[in-house]
Amino acid sequence: MSQPKVLLLGPPGAGKGTQSSNVVDEYGVDHVTTGDALRANKDMETDHGTPREYMEAGELVPDPVVNEIVKAALEEADGFVLDGYPRNLSQAEYLDDITDLDLVALLEVDREELIARLTGRRVCDGCGTNYHVEFQPPAQEGVCDDCGGELVQRDDDTEETVKDRLDVFDENTQPVVDFYDEAGRLVRVDGHGTPDEVWASLREEIEAST
Ligand code: AMP
């Protein structure tokens, strides 16, 4: 079987990062995520300014910048799990031009739960492991269990920016969901369960699609 090409859609906080790690561990594919790529290049000068200006406002970074990142990453990948892209229709059309997807899965989680997940999220500034102050606390407050690094809140996980990001999803990315849905290409996965429960459902869909 060739390596699966999976697109994970869902609002911020739906668990795309967690489930992408499961896909990577299971199938050995590349994790392509525009959010991480942009965070690593926040101050990169582009024709449209730096990614930081957009990210700190919870807005989308301009298409030419993210399209370029995704094209380069997919060219190098055999299989992949793509997360955080496409976020608008023009990115979705661009993606169809450069690859064939095996599965488009939407992780569905309601808004209240998303806000609780995101505002309580803490990330290790050493190794990137995610925690949650309530749902998945570290053994010692503020310290990473894995590497002893400091746990910090992402700049865009504050309540105000989280609400903006969810609004941006509803406005820009919901049409992407509709685009795949109307084409009969969308599979819905309930994202409310434990990470293991969600993974069991997603894994079944990947197996069925390849
Ligand atoms: P994420 O980690 O996926 O929530 O992304 C964090 C931020 O990076 C977003 O709020 C956007 O500012 C930017 N970003 C990530 N992916 C994209 C994309 N596909 N298109 C435009 N901006 C993006």
**Which class is 5-29+78-110+167-209 in CATH?**
alpha beta
Residue 121's pLDDT band (cuts 50, 70, 90): very high
The predicted structure's pLDDT at residue 147: 98
Q: Which of 7, 16, 33, 34 to mutate to test the pocket of ligand 1 (most atoms within 8 A of CB)?
A: 34
Q: What is the DSSP letter of 171?
A: I
Indicate the domain borders of the chain.
5-29+78-110+167-209
Q: Please work out whether the CB of residue 84 comes within 6 Å of at least one atom of ligand 1.
A: yes
The predicted structure's pLDDT at residue 188: 97
Nearest to 66 by CA among 32, 105, 16, 19: 32
Question: Which parts of 22-167 are beta strand (E)?
Answer: 30-33, 80-83, 103-108, 121-124, 130-132, 151-152
Q: Mean pLDDT across the chain, nearest whole number?
A: 94
Does position 1 have pLDDT exceeding 70, yes or no? no
Q: Which of 44, 60, 168 to mutate to test the pocket of ligand 1 (most atoms within 8 A of CB)?
A: 60
Neighbours of 204 (CB within 10 A): 12
**Structure confidence by residue, pLDDT tens digits, 30-62:** 999 999 889 989 999 999 999 999 999 989 999
Helices (H), 28-108: 34-40, 51-55, 63-76, 89-98
The predicted structure's pLDDT at residue 36: 87
